[in-house]
Amino acid sequence: MASSGADHAVWLRGIEKQFPGVIACAGADLRVRPGTIHALLGENGAGKTTMVNVLAGVYRPDGGEVWVNGQQRFFHSPADAIAAGVGMVYQEFRLVPNLTVAENIVLGSAPGLLRTNEIEERVAELSAAYGMAADPTRPVWQLSMGERQRVEILKSLWRNASVLVMDEPTAVLTPGEAAELGATLRAMAEEGRSVIYISHKLDQVVAFCDEATVLRQGKTAATVDNLQDVDLTSLAEMMVGTSGGGYVDRPPPRDRGPEVLSLQNISALNDRGLPALADINMTVHSGEIVGIVGVSGNGQKELAEVITGLRRPAQGRVAVNGQDVTRASPGDRYGLGLAYVPEDRLGVGLAPKMSVVDNSVVRSYKSQRRGLLLVMDRCVKFCQTLVERFGVRVGRLNDPIAGLSGGNLQRLLLGRELAEQPAVLVAAQPTRGLDVQGVAAIQSHLVEQRANGVGVLLISEDLDELQALSDVLLVMYEGRVVGEYPPDVTPRTILGSAMAGNPPT
């Protein structure tokens, strides 16, 4: 192994980064050769964003080294990274809507005297050189998303970035615009610049990129030197990959009970107003675990939200225990037996600034009342029971939960959801980011609930977990269920091609 990063445009070496309750990077590596387009792959939470934020000077790593163009760097701010030639294009563009294209491009790096005409001319030359049509005189608010993205790229080129990082660049683009973006990136690579390309859309990754790094659970799980050598299926497999994560013995199959959750013809839009779910039909029976397989961003989040009432479906019907709940509020659905462990634990499932007690009664505070008053003794008792039963390690019950570890937060959340014997449990990424004991504890709770007759919908990005726990696997691709497979006898390659959108017939 070379002892310096001289041969690489970017070398992130052994990056470690921890956030309260989450280990984002645990010694991940990323090497990008000059003049290549490098795909950075991995599920949500695998550490991609943290890695590129380390490169962009937004985060400082707890451990590891950052090398850019053969020099070790210690970035103290994004400005340092820009000076070193790193350009970032975030998903949410960072442009000033009221300024023109040219003004946005030179913002922060303008020469002392702003001569509008000259700058506009130079911006026009730059955009022509890379085949990006952009009228420098137009205000940014008039531009389409695709045009705004071009402005972001031009901004980096203006600062002569040798490395351009693009986070999910095609999420906001039409297919035509995406193809144009591919051509622009290629032109940049041919000049010797490097591009780091983060995306979940594997077909585009294969079409645009030369090499790839796959992150999983904060570590580098695989590197691909030549993407032409691999197919979509194995790429999908690498991404979802294996965690060695089935810590619980596979429960013997049981007789299925009655239907507890059913979705009929569900369609829904995502936050951007684009179709996220199309014609979904599925049922979960009492005493079974239904696993949802898929590369993230294929509608799993929206599926969970539609079921639990946080998102209105455009059409279709949701029923819990045979009762139509399509128009019911999330709280009412819980009352009917639908428990939910959301993917975003701290943002949706829990209130980080409130106490352990307050968080434990989110579902049941109404039954802890006497008249108008909330009976604090009962709340505390309820909380103590949860904490003991689910082995949550907490300090004082009246302290905010923000200080708890990820595993303990999840134990508390799961315990709260299970406290009142639900009929259905929707668990989204319940073990993501947890340590080994945490994963094992959560998984065994899920299996135990199945044995108790709860119907579990398990949405996960961990194939090992899904295969170990589920009674049936449903594969989602672009908002549709593209296949149903028995977990134990289905080879990975079949699941892989279904996840890539080509279910074997």
Partner 1 sequence: MMRPVLIRRERVVPATQAVAFVVGIATALVLGLILLWTSGHSPAEVYERMFDAAFMGTDSLARTLERATPLALTGLAVAVAGSMGLWNIGAEGQMMAGATIAAGVAMGADGLSGPLLIALMVVSGVAGGMVLMLGPALARSHLGVSEIITTLMLVYVAIRVVEWLETGPWKDPESFGFAVIEPVPEQASLPGLFGRAHIGTLIALGLLLVFSLAVSRTAWGYELRLAGSSPNTARYAGISLRRKVLTALLLSGGIAGLAGAVQLTGSATRLESGLSNGYGFAGIIVAALALMRPSGVVVAAFVFGAVQVGGQSIQTLGVSSAISDILQAMILFAALVAAVFFNYRIRWRGPAGRESSDDEQAEAGDDALTMEGV
Contact pick of 58, 99, 171, 472 for partner 1 (by CB under 8 A) = 58
CA distance 8 to 293: 36
Where would I find the H helices in 191-329? 202-208, 232-240, 300-308
Q: Give, as ranges, the residues between 398 and 437 that touch partner 1 (CB under 8 A).
A: 399-400, 402-403
From 140-148, 153-161, 286-294, 327-335, span contacting partner 1 (CB under 8 A): 327-335
344 lies in the site for partner 1, by CB under 8 A? yes
Q: How far is the CB of 78 from partner 1 (least distance, A)?
A: 10
What type of residue sits at position 202?
L
CA distance 29 to 50: 12
State both tokens at 74.
């210690």
Q: Under a CB-based contact definition with an 8 Å cutoff, are residues 477 and 490 in contact?
A: no
From 129-137, 246-254, 302-310, 420-428, span contacting partner 1 (CB under 8 A): 302-310
350 lies in the site for partner 1, by CB under 8 A? yes
Q: How far is the CB of 500 from partner 1 (least distance, A)?
A: 32
From 178-186, 315-323, 339-347, 460-468, span contacting partner 1 (CB under 8 A): 339-347
Between 358 and 397, how does the x/- string for binding to partner 1 read (CB under 8 A)? x--xxx-xx-xx--xxx-x---------------------
Q: How far is the CB of 332 from partner 1 (least distance, A)?
A: 6
Task: Please identify, using beta-carbon distances, which residue of 232 and 354 lies nearer to partner 1.
Answer: 354
Residue for token pair 């193809």: 179
330 lies in the site for partner 1, by CB under 8 A? yes
- Checking DSSP bridges between strand 37-41 and strand 194-198, what pairing results, if any? parallel
CA distance 434 to 427: 14
Q: Under a CB-based contact definition with an 8 Å cutoff, are residues 287 and 450 in contact?
A: yes
Task: Please identify, using beta-carbon distances, which residue of 163 and 413 lies nearer to partner 1.
Answer: 413
65 lies in the site for partner 1, by CB under 8 A? no
Q: How far is the CB of 83 from partner 1 (least distance, A)?
A: 16
Contact pick of 1, 2, 3, 76 for partner 1 (by CB under 8 A) = 76
Nearest to 13 by CA among 3, 22, 23: 3
Environment class of 495 (CB within 10 Å of its CB; exposed 0-12, middle 13-18, buried 19+)? buried
Q: How far is the CB of 94 from partner 1 (least distance, A)?
A: 14
CA distance 41 to 500: 14
SS3 category, 352: coil
62 lies in the site for partner 1, by CB under 8 A? yes
State CA 81 to chain mean position distance: 25
Q: How far is the CB of 418 from partner 1 (least distance, A)?
A: 16
271 lies in the site for partner 1, by CB under 8 A? no
Q: How far is the CB of 41 from partner 1 (least distance, A)?
A: 24
Contact pick of 19, 115, 160, 244 for partner 1 (by CB under 8 A) = 19
Q: What is the three-state SS of 309-350? A: CCCCCCEEEEEECCEECCCCCHHHHHHCCEEEECCCHHHHHC
18 lies in the site for partner 1, by CB under 8 A? yes
Contact pick of 230, 354, 472, 494 for partner 1 (by CB under 8 A) = 354
Task: Please identify, using beta-carbon distances, which residue of 255 and 377 lies nearer to partner 1.
Answer: 377
351 lies in the site for partner 1, by CB under 8 A? yes
Long-range contact set of residues 225-229: C-beta below 8 Å, sequence gap at least 24? 227/39
Q: Under a CB-based contact definition with an 8 Å cutoff, are residues 314 and 269 in contact?
A: yes
Task: Please identify, using beta-carbon distances, which residue of 144 and 323 lies nearer to partner 1.
Answer: 323
SS3 category, 151: helix
Q: Under a CB-based contact definition with an 8 Å cutoff, are residues 446 and 458 in contact?
A: yes
Q: Of all helices (H) and strands (E), which one includes residue 10?
A: strand 10-19
332 lies in the site for partner 1, by CB under 8 A? yes
Q: Give, as ranges, the residues between 241 and 260 that touch partner 1 (CB under 8 A).
A: none
Q: How far is the CB of 362 from partner 1 (least distance, A)?
A: 5
Contact pick of 230, 232, 278, 348 for partner 1 (by CB under 8 A) = 348
State both tokens at 355.
């106490």
Q: Write out the residues near partner 1 by the rule CB under 8 A.
A: 17-20, 58-60, 62-63, 74, 76, 308-310, 329-334, 340, 342, 344, 347-354, 358, 361-363, 365-366, 368-369, 372-374, 376, 399-400, 402-403
